[in-house]
Amino acid sequence: MPQTAQPAARLVPRTKPSWLTERRRSSLTAYLFISPFFVLFAIFGLYPILFTIYLSFYKWDALGPMTYVGMQNYQFVTEDPIFWTSFANTLIISVMGTIPQLILALLIAVFLNSSITRFKKTFRVLYFMPNITSIVAVTLVFSAIFSNNGMGNWVMDLFGLDPVAWNSGWWGVKLAVASMIMWRWTGYNVIIYLSGLQSIPTDLYEAARIDGASRFQQLIRITLPLLKPFIVFTVLMSTIGSLQLFTEPYVFLGQTGTSSTREEGLTMVIYLYTEAFGNNFFGTAAATAVLLLLFTIVFSMFNMWASRKMGGDADGGAV
């Protein structure tokens, strides 16, 4: 029960066992209310995570008995050049898909937030529309755009550029996948940044103008430092999200009907998926999953560290 209700509770007479005070009753109710999450998490979250770590030291095909192999799965994965290809691909596509995206989102948000801009609501809805589309749908539409004689190469030609092999070239595949990510997520980040911008008090800008700060100085000295929590949030979310990249390249390159994805677009999660559900190597797949978690932790910590470094003078700059 709400803590403020405690005194009133004693006024209501109830015939209950004496150990079951109102206070205990309300605690028990609370535990009951939150228990579904913990029960489900124990079964489908915690146990699987521990089991994955355990499994990564065993050889197993998901049917027969498990054999302990020590670090061999890790050794196999880290000595597999295809794993490192998938690692590099994931990293390159993440950088290509998220850094320009976040900068673009920030610009759009600043322009949208400007006092002169009208039709704000309409713009917001239009920018957010891609995000509601399923990744499969986005990938299919973009595969049509990036098909051999498709619109993508026609646009390249308009700008006098050579056609790109979007679905087989080393850079082509990465560009195509990165553009799908950008298209689907830019609007989402615009909305996040916009809510951040709206939380900045306007008198800060007035004071800056009185001091003669230019528009650009205002952006660097006021907007960016005060937007920092939002930027950290979006960078963190994009990093975690792009390490888990799977659906776009899997669907985009899966069209040949073979069970394997072209190496140009192989990501770590596709590697994991193929090891487990293509080759039945559950042990190496588990080792890949553990490595993926380690990478996620390392990248998140690096983000936190970098943002703390950069934020050194944020408070000073804002006032």
Site for another protein in 181-200 (CB under 8 A): 183, 186-188, 191-192, 194-196, 199
Q: Is 287 in the site for another protein (CB under 8 A)?
A: no
Q: Is 15 in the site for another protein (CB under 8 A)?
A: no
Tell me the C-alpha distance between 251 and 89, whole Å.
16
**In the bound complex, what is the minimum distance in angstroms from residue 287's beta carbon to another protein?**
11
Task: Give the nearer residue to another protein in terms of CB position, either 85 or 244.
Answer: 244
Q: Binding residue for another protein (CB under 8 A) from 149, 212, 309, 319?
A: 149
296 burial (CB, 10 Å; 0-12 / 13-18 / 19+) is: middle
Tell me the C-alpha distance between 246 and 41, whole Å.
23
Task: Give the nearer residue to another protein in terms of CB position, either 72 or 133.
Answer: 133
Q: Is 150 in the site for another protein (CB under 8 A)?
A: yes
Q: Which of residues 231-270 bind another protein (CB under 8 A)?
A: 233, 240, 243-244, 246-247, 251, 254-257, 269
CA-nearest of 304, 263, 300, 295 to 91 is 295
Q: Binding residue for another protein (CB under 8 A) from 20, 62, 88, 95?
A: 62
Q: Which of residues 64-103 bind another protein (CB under 8 A)?
A: none
Task: Give the nearer residue to another protein in terms of CB position, either 44 or 84.
Answer: 44
- Site size toward another protein (CB under 8 A) is 107
Which span (69-77, 79-87, 141-149, 309-317) binds another protein, by CB under 8 A? 141-149
**In the bound complex, what is the minimum distance in angstroms from residue 95's beta carbon to another protein?**
19
Task: Give the nearer residue to another protein in terms of CB position, either 170 or 233.
Answer: 233
**In the bound complex, what is the minimum distance in angstroms from residue 11's beta carbon to another protein?**
8
**In the bound complex, what is the minimum distance in angstroms from residue 290's beta carbon to another protein?**
8
Q: Is 134 in the site for another protein (CB under 8 A)?
A: yes
Q: Binding residue for another protein (CB under 8 A) from 20, 88, 99, 148?
A: 148
Concatenating the DSSP letter of every residue in the chain gives: --GGGHHHHTTS-----TT--HHHHHHHHHHHHHHHHHHHHIIIIIHHHHHHHHHTTEE--SSS--EE-TTHHHHHHHH-HHHHHHHHHHHHHHHHHHHHHHHHHHHHHHHHHSTT---HHHHHHHHHHHHHS-HHHHHHHHHHHTSTTSHHHHHHHHTTPPP--TTTSHHHHHHHHHHHHHHHHHHHHHHHHHHHHHTS-HHHHHHHHHTT--HHHHIIIIIHHHHHHHHHHHHHHHHHHHHT--HHHHHHHGGGS-SS--GGG--HHHHHHIIIIIT--HHHHHHHHHHHHHHHHHHHHHHHHHHHHHGGGHHHHH-
**In the bound complex, what is the minimum distance in angstroms from residue 309's beta carbon to another protein?**
21
Task: Give the nearer residue to another protein in terms of CB position, either 201 or 315.
Answer: 201
Q: Binding residue for another protein (CB under 8 A) from 15, 116, 160, 319?
A: 116
Q: Is 151 in the site for another protein (CB under 8 A)?
A: yes
